[in-house]
Amino acid sequence: MSGWQTLFYKEVLRFWKVAFQTVAAPVLTAVLYLLIFSHVLEGGAKVYGSVSYTAFLVPGLVMMSVLQNAFANSSSSLIQSKIMGNLVFVLLTPLSHWAWFAAYVGSSVLRGLLVGLGVFAVTLAFARPEFAAPLWIITFALLGAALLATLGVIAGLWADKFDQMASFQNFIVMPMTFLSGVFYSIHSLPPFWQQASRFNPFFYMIDGFRYGFFGRSDVSPWISLAIVASAWAAVSWLALRLLRTGYKIRH
């Protein structure tokens, strides 16, 4: 087993040993969102013509769970290792910054996808979305998870204590996720907020992912793909640069 694979395996074991907290709990949270919002809005909210609100909500909740848990995995792993002091054991290895990147991002993508599959499996009891373009579903799930996992690496390197990490998640990741169209189509918003939503990269991840289910979306999936891929390229460059220079970990 190569170096990056060993680190990847270690990171997977880290979250899997507490799977009740890292996988099962987020699935329960998403199901509660589904029960509450579908009960309140099923009869009143209109989306994509014949698509029921509950069916519309499922892909958004799945993608939201993927994104939030991919970010949480890489960010929490790094900040815990820094604070507890065991990051030094990884620093002593001859692993390159590419190996670190592959291991932390790869394990976080895996956790995000596992949670997303769990959410989808449970929500099948409430609605059965179509599969108009499965390739788009896979593409946006992987890209979205990779983008948030990479952002989690940056946040984990930047933060020196848990409250800094919490502020990053509470004031950046969470608001951008909830304002991305998880619970609504942006066409139901006033014109100003429709335009504001287009500056949120999370919107394109949700919208492109939802297109794979219904074949309909608020913007072209190709535009969403270009924006999400460009965003991931940008944050990957930054994360690799920080890892290569040992930002806040080599001192």
pLDDT in tens, 188-223: 778 888 888 889 999 999 999 999 998 888 899 999
Predicted pLDDT at 38: 76
Element (H, E) at 216: none
pLDDT for the residue numbered 9: 94
Which of 36, 22, 37 minimizes the C-alpha distance to 71? 22
Confidence of residue 41 (pLDDT cuts 50, 70, 90): low
Task: Give per-residue pLDDT as tens, 215-251.
Answer: 888 899 999 999 999 999 999 999 999 999 989 887 6
Residue 46 has pLDDT above 70, yes or no: no
**Residue 128 confidence (pLDDT) above 90:** no
Average pLDDT, rounded, for the chain? 89
What pLDDT shows up at residue 111?
A: 97
pTM for this predicted structure:
0.92
Residue 1 banded pLDDT, cuts 50, 70, 90: low
- The DSSP letter of residue 98 is H
Instruction: Supply 53's token pair.
Output: 């609100």
**Eight-state DSSP code of residue 171:** I
Confidence of residue 45 (pLDDT cuts 50, 70, 90): low
Q: Which carries the bigger pLDDT value, residue 108 or residue 188?
A: 108
- Identify the three-state secondary structure at position 243: helix
Instruction: Name, in order, each residue with C-beta under 8 angstroms of 39's C-beta and a sequence gap of 6 or more.
Output: none
Q: What is the model's pLDDT at position 189?
A: 79
* Residues pairing with 51 in the sheet: 47
Band of the pLDDT at 43, cuts 50, 70, 90? low
- Distance in angstroms between the alpha carbons of the first and the last residue of the chain: 29
The pLDDT tens digits for 48-95 are 667 778 888 899 999 999 999 999 999 999 999 998 888 888 888 888
Q: pLDDT at position 158, please?
A: 94
Assess whether pLDDT exceeds 80 at residue 12: yes
Give the pLDDT confidence score for residue 40 in this predicted structure: 66
